[in-house]
Amino acid sequence: MQEALTYDDILLTPRYSEILPADANLDTKFSRNVPLKTPIVSSPMDTVTEHRMAIAIALEGGLGIIHKNLTPEQQAQEVLLVKRFENGFIIDPITISSEATIDEIHQIEQDKGYKKIPVVDEAGVLVGIMTEFYYSWPHDQGKIVKNVMKPASELTVAAEGISLSEANTLIRKEKLSVLCVVGEDRRLKSIVTRKDIEKNKKYPNANKTTDKRLFVGAAIGVGKDALKRAELLAKAGVDVIVVDTAHGHSKGVMDMVKTLKNNPLTKNVDVVAGNVATENAVKDLIDAGADGVKIGIGPGSICTTRVVAGIGVPQITAILEGVKGKGENKDIAIIADGGIKLSGDITKALAMGAQCVMLGGLLAGAEESPGETLFIGGRMFKSYRGMGSLSAMEKGSKDRYGQEDVKDTQKFVPEGIEGRTAYRGPIDKTLYQLIGGLRAGMGYLGAATIEKLALRAKPVKITAAGYIESHPHDVIITEDAPNYRRK
Ligand code: XMP
């Protein structure tokens, strides 16, 4: 029987180096035509990637894949929000109806911290604005917004297409605290606030197309609505469609890849397919037309596939299989999906020949992941659940696990669990540490690029004693490091 290894079973031996971590070049790709400036992609999971995560990760050079536990229209809207993103503009501001009460405004302020709230009608047309000045008087409690707001007729608004520097000038000249940007039909498109301009950050590493839009991907399944979903996503401008299933080496997935590649609306969009863990599966998916293949059967932190179904391949071996299957197809990307616990695992995945990694658990605690922050025992958490967990399958992801026709939720056979993970704040800090660890690894190996990392890697298999030696030992950790967690 073949032996199979995972991240904790190996280490990479150091080599002579003239490369400093800061000099390492992280350019790579997610698929044939979708480049990455940082080899990190966020998972299409409903507790990980919607537009906020996809924007935040693309701004740092990576890529977000929008999950599909949404209607096709909602998912396409999420893609549009990423595509329309312009640094400094808030493209999905919280709005309120003119019939709402001041109490509702106070609730938004309390829950979200926003103090400037545009008022729109049912069609999204801007009818006024509420700022602290209009709703903070005690005698106004309980009043209706339309009787208190500043009406649109008295507002300075900007037309869609205004640049950030023009918006800036207008805000300064008119002494505004918020500028609403509207389309020709007066519908609210975005807002720019003075506060956001003051703290506006530059993103020199943003992952953008030639027309200066952020790259974004989205997942589909192989179920009944999959093609319609893919067409809507393509119309919204998605750069890559991920056929995301638990068993990618299957007729349904290969047929879907072929369909997408032959459909007039989707044939120009890259297609990534998965998940698989063998050489033959990768070969077959490439033959079907895939531009990238996702590797990982059961390594994920929320996965139970290996223990429920008895199926899987430890991730280092699975990546090596994938790289063998890719062979000389240099344009195709191998994506190591799941099981990454610490930054050193990213170095190991890329050293084995993957072009990038996909992360769920390490990003689910970010401010930008979907879902509210939970306070438990004085600590902050966010929910994180497998797409094969009972609650996620109820929301729609059952087709990922071949259970699309199961109507009775009592009959689901889950392959994932529901849990929570520590809240980690804005994602740029997490990415900084993950990338910092990878850069350090490239420095140790003398690898100037990700391609060289794979060429120079000399892995060694370690024992249980080596594993214990690798982690902090014989000491009580008194302060958490930003890049190391105790189990
Ligand atoms: P990490 O380890 O980053 O893994 O949290 C994320 C990846 O796990 C996969 N995934 C699942 N696999 N049951 C599974 O067997 C599930 O419920 C499940 N949900 C997600 C997926 O590939 C993701 O990117």
What is d(CA 69, CA 391) in angstroms, rounded to the nearest whole number?
Answer: 11
Separation of CA 378 and ligand 1 centre (Å) = 28
Active site residue 303: yes
One domain, residues 31 and 170: no
- Omega prior to 168 cis, within 30 of 0: no
- The CATH number that applies at residue 157 is 3.10.580.10
One domain, residues 181 and 274: no
How many CA atoms lie less than 13 Å away from 81 in the CB half-sphere? 22
The reply to whether 478 falls in a domain is no
Number of structural domains found in the chain: 2
The reply to whether 487 falls in a domain is no
The residue range of the domain holding 182 is 89-194
Residue to probe by mutation, ligand 1, list 65, 303, 389, 413, most atoms within 8 Å of CB: 303
The reply to whether 275 falls in a domain is yes
Q: What are the distances in angstroms from CA 212 to CA 21, 62, 86, 192, 426?
A: 28, 15, 9, 19, 23
Q: Give the contacts of 263 (CB within 8 A, at least 6 positions apart).
A: 227, 230, 231
One domain, residues 328 and 227: yes
One domain, residues 179 and 246: no
Separation of CA 384 and ligand 1 centre (Å) = 10
One domain, residues 79 and 96: no
One domain, residues 396 and 270: yes
What is the side-by-side order of every strand in the sheet holding 418-422? 373-376, 379-385, 418-422
Of ligand 1's listed atoms, the one at least distance from the Cα of 415 is: 13
Separation of CA 466 and ligand 1 centre (Å) = 27
The reply to whether 422 falls in a domain is yes
One domain, residues 76 and 114: no
**Whose CA is closest to atom 3 on ligand 1?**
360
- Residue 266 has a pLDDT of 97
Of ligand 1's listed atoms, the one at least distance from the Cα of 359 is: 3
Of ligand 1's listed atoms, the one at least distance from the Cα of 414 is: 17
What is d(CA 125, CA 127) in angstroms, rounded to the nearest whole number?
Answer: 6
**Whose CA is closest to atom 15 on ligand 1?**
303
The reply to whether 425 falls in a domain is yes
Separation of CA 98 and ligand 1 centre (Å) = 43
The reply to whether 37 falls in a domain is yes
Residue among 229, 303, 385, 424 flagged as catalytic: 303
Residue 103's closest CA among 144, 142, 55, 61? 142
- Residue 138 has a pLDDT of 65
Burial of 13 (0-12, 13-18, 19+ CB in 10 A): exposed
- Residue 487 has a pLDDT of 61
- Residue 198 has a pLDDT of 67
**Whose CA is closest to atom 14 on ligand 1?**
303
One domain, residues 285 and 415: yes
One domain, residues 36 and 69: yes
- Residue 448 has a pLDDT of 98
What is d(CA 266, CA 129) in angstroms, rounded to the nearest whole number?
Answer: 41
Task: Indicate left, alpha or beta for 114 from its phi (over 0: left) and psi (-120 to 50: alpha).
Answer: beta
- The CATH number that applies at residue 262 is 3.20.20.70
Of ligand 1's listed atoms, the one at least distance from the Cα of 417 is: 17
**Whose CA is closest to atom 9 on ligand 1?**
300
The strand pairing partners of 126, in sequence order, are 120
For each of the chain's 487 residues, which pLDDT tens digit applies?
A: 999 999 999 999 999 999 999 999 999 999 999 999 999 999 999 999 999 999 999 999 999 999 999 999 999 999 999 998 887 888 778 899 988 888 888 888 777 778 888 999 988 999 999 888 777 666 667 788 888 888 988 888 999 888 888 888 888 888 888 899 999 889 999 898 877 666 667 899 999 999 889 999 999 999 889 999 999 999 999 999 999 999 999 999 999 999 999 999 999 999 999 999 999 999 999 999 999 999 999 999 999 999 999 999 999 999 999 999 999 999 999 999 999 999 999 999 999 999 999 999 999 999 999 988 889 988 999 999 999 998 898 888 888 878 888 877 777 888 998 999 999 999 999 999 999 999 999 999 999 999 999 999 999 999 999 999 999 998 888 888 889 886 6
Separation of CA 400 and ligand 1 centre (Å) = 11
Where among 194, 216, 250 does a domain terminate?
194
The reply to whether 477 falls in a domain is no
- Token readout for 58 is 């693309």
Where among 147, 164, 194 does a domain terminate?
194
Residue among 229, 400, 439, 456 flagged as catalytic: 400
One domain, residues 447 and 388: yes
One domain, residues 151 and 209: no
Where among 138, 167, 194 does a domain terminate?
194
Separation of CA 187 and ligand 1 centre (Å) = 39
The reply to whether 426 falls in a domain is yes
Residue to probe by mutation, ligand 1, list 45, 304, 308, 395, most atoms within 8 Å of CB: 45
Separation of CA 260 and ligand 1 centre (Å) = 24
* Ligand 1 pocket at CB < 6 A: 43, 45, 246, 275, 296, 298, 300-303, 305, 337-340, 358-361, 386-389, 415-416
Contact 351, 458 (CB under 8 A): no
Burial track 59-98 (b if 16+ CB lie within 10 A, e otherwise): bbbbbbbbbbbbebeebbbbbbbbbbbbebbbbebebbeb
One domain, residues 15 and 42: yes
Longest dimension (CA), the chain: 78
